[in-house]
Structure 1
Amino acid sequence: MWVNGKKKVEALEYSRALQFGDGCFTTIAVISGKALMLKAHLKRLRENCERLLMNDPDFIKLENEINSIAVKQKKAVLKVILITSDGMNGRGYSRGCNHASTRIILLLPWPTHYIKLQKTGVRLFTSPIRLARNPFFAGMKHLNRLEQVLIRQHIDYKGGDEALVLDTKGIVIECCTANLFWRKQNDIYTPCLNESGVEGIMRNYFITQLVASGQVCNIANYSREDVLQADEVTICNALMPVLPVYAIDNVYFNTGLLYKQFYETCCKYYNLHCNDHD
């Protein structure tokens, strides 16, 4: 673990992040010594800091720190966490007069199970845990992840791979750790995230690529039934980076054109930005 560029081993036991979830984070794929989509990750962190009223954590230093760690890795994951410093000795909600931000970088092993799931596909179960609707926090990857913890518990209990997650009004939002796309005939859809959910790096990348190729990605509020009527469903995040869905509950799907298009898009990106990809 690196804290403000210095390697640390002690826990931040009085951290506001620990007590209140006061901060934000992003998870970056590292392949062949390069932090993939780094500009997009830094842009999201900057926007999240602004929305959380956090001071600038010095993004130039942060980018240099990420690159210096990534360059030594063939395949790994960097989790970058930005938290507010303890301005009130770790007590009370107020940040006090100390609004400085702390940069934390965790070096984690590469998740190898995604390779298998690219071949077998994933099964989603509809989660009984609903996401709260709050436009102020919608799209952000803040440190308050208790909803996702409980969603993951349900996935483990059901024996599935991921979850289809709805909000408190029954609108489809995302998965536990991924965003969602689906295709019905030639039409492509993904949920609107104006009220809840996480605006994923890969989600935005795929939307941009669809627009660039002249395709329309319909972004609106959809029900579970809308998704179940799809011809195919895919999920994505920065590490997967895209996986086909073979079933949601007891409804089954075939891998099709959308997954192949997204997969080929990822391969082109990796081949362009990495020395090798395995």
Structure 2
Amino acid sequence: MYLINGERTETLAANDRAVQFGDGCFTTSRVSDGQVRFLEQHLIRLQQACEKLLIPFADWSRLKSEMQQLAATQQQAVLKVVITRGSGGRGYSAANCQQPTRILSVSAFPSFYPQWREEGISLALSPIQLGINPHLAGIKHLNRLEQVLIRTHLEQTQAQEALVLDSDGWLTECCAANLFWRKGTQVFTPYVDKSGVNGTMRQHIISCLAGSAWQLTQVRERVDTLAQADEVLICNALMPVVPVKQAESWQFESRELYQFLAPLCE
């Protein structure tokens, strides 16, 4: 089901900047019992991305209403919102773009997440590294070719998710999730100020840990730092938190941090 600028249609203008240049941003949220989980955080994420990309989107109240309306008909689903710069012009200049495009879609909730949470998952190191760009780091813009290639390579392995480095070799994230690991009471997560995505669930977990006995540090580390970890987990808005049982050759049995976070992230 698609809603484009308030109309039920799957037709997008061929000269929309999303098609021509990947010129836009998006967020993906979980719908549960007719409600968008962490709705305000998803709207803030879109606002911040539009500001960074200089997209003059202003219909935030209308967008929020449309998100709520689509969610109200769903028991369990995925709601994705895309904002593009709109249509206009042949080249890179955005001067002829008159109005941003908003695209909402609803799809089935992934059936495998409960099994992942119960059994844990495996991570494989991706050969695809993320480019470094501090201006675009953190936001979910529409240029996702890196993630497409990461997923394509991942599907050639037996792992469920990827360990992804940036082009300087620093551990950054997964293909479609953020990464946390624990050593004792110390919890670590990679910086995403040069590459990667600052996910809404990542932000929520950081907030939860700030008022707890766990001590969180954002770090730049090589992948072999996970060899010393007691526990590893990944997160995104849909999972929302999943324990890792194996990353490359390293295995993890503890779920202390996962058990603390899981009820706080529903």
TM above 0.5, yes or no, is yes
CA contact (8 A) 1:55 1:99 kept: no
Matches within 5 A, 1:19-30: 19-30=20-31
Moved over 6 A (4+): none
The answer for the alignment partner of 2:149 in structure 1 is: 150
Indicate the percent of aligned positions where both proteins have the same amino acid.
43
Tell me the matched-pair count: 265
The answer for the alignment partner of 2:191 in structure 1 is: 192
The answer as to 2:229 corresponding to 1:230 is yes
Q: Hey, what's the Cα distance between the residues in 2 that align with 1:38 and 1:255?
A: 31
The answer for the alignment partner of 2:9 in structure 1 is: 8
Q: Hey, what's the Cα distance between the residues in 1 that align with 2:212 and 2:248?
A: 33
Q: Hey, what's the Cα distance between the residues in 1 that align with 2:150 and 2:57?
A: 32
Instruction: Tell me which amino acid in the other structure corresponds to 1:232.
Output: E
The answer for the alignment partner of 1:68 in structure 2 is: 69
TM-aligned CA deviation for residue 93 of structure 1:
1.1
The answer as to 2:34 corresponding to 1:42 is no
CA contact (8 A) 2:231 2:252 kept: yes
- 5+ residue gaps in structure 1? 271-278
The answer for the alignment partner of 1:183 in structure 2 is: 182
CA contact (8 A) 2:130 2:196 kept: yes
TM-aligned CA deviation for residue 228 of structure 1:
2.4
Q: Hey, what's the Cα distance between the residues in 1 that align with 2:16 and 2:246?
A: 41
Q: Hey, what's the Cα distance between the residues in 2 that align with 1:258 and 1:214?
A: 11
CA contact (8 A) 1:57 1:103 kept: no
TM-aligned CA deviation for residue 101 of structure 1:
0.9
The answer for the alignment partner of 2:166 in structure 1 is: 167
CA contact (8 A) 1:57 1:100 kept: no
The answer for the alignment partner of 1:201 in structure 2 is: 200
Q: Hey, what's the Cα distance between the residues in 2 that align with 1:246 and 1:53?
A: 41
Q: Hey, what's the Cα distance between the residues in 1 that align with 2:6 and 2:249?
A: 48
TM-aligned CA deviation for residue 129 of structure 1:
0.3
CA contact (8 A) 2:172 2:190 kept: yes
**Residues 223 and 13 (structure 1), Cα distance of their counterparts in 2 relative to 1, 3 Å cut:** same
RMSD: 1.1
Q: Hey, what's the Cα distance between the residues in 1 that align with 2:10 and 2:42?
A: 25
TM-aligned CA deviation for residue 99 of structure 1:
4.3
The answer as to 2:86 corresponding to 1:97 is no
Q: Secondary structure at the match of 2:156?
A: helix
Instruction: Tell me which amino acid in the other structure corresponds to 2:246.
Output: A
Q: Secondary structure at the match of 1:61?
A: helix
TM-score, length basis structure 1? 0.93
Instruction: Tell me which amino acid in the other structure corresponds to 1:140.
Output: I
The answer to which of 207-216 and 135-144 deviates more is: 207-216
CA contact (8 A) 1:165 1:172 kept: yes
Instruction: Tell me which amino acid in the other structure corresponds to 1:177.
Output: A
Q: Secondary structure at the match of 1:193?
A: coil
TM-aligned CA deviation for residue 186 of structure 1:
1.3
CA contact (8 A) 2:180 2:189 kept: yes
Instruction: Tell me which amino acid in the other structure corresponds to 1:27.
Output: T
TM-aligned CA deviation for residue 214 of structure 1:
4.7
Matches within 5 A, 1:215-226: 215-226=214-225
The answer for the alignment partner of 1:112 in structure 2 is: 111
TM-score, length basis structure 2? 0.97
CA contact (8 A) 2:4 2:10 kept: no
The answer for the alignment partner of 1:261 in structure 2 is: 260
TM-aligned CA deviation for residue 161 of structure 1:
0.2
Q: Please give the per-residue CA displacement for 1:59-78, whole angstroms capped at 9, x wherever unaligned.
A: 01000000011111111111
CA contact (8 A) 1:57 1:82 kept: no
TM-aligned CA deviation for residue 98 of structure 1:
2.4
TM-aligned CA deviation for residue 19 of structure 1:
1.7
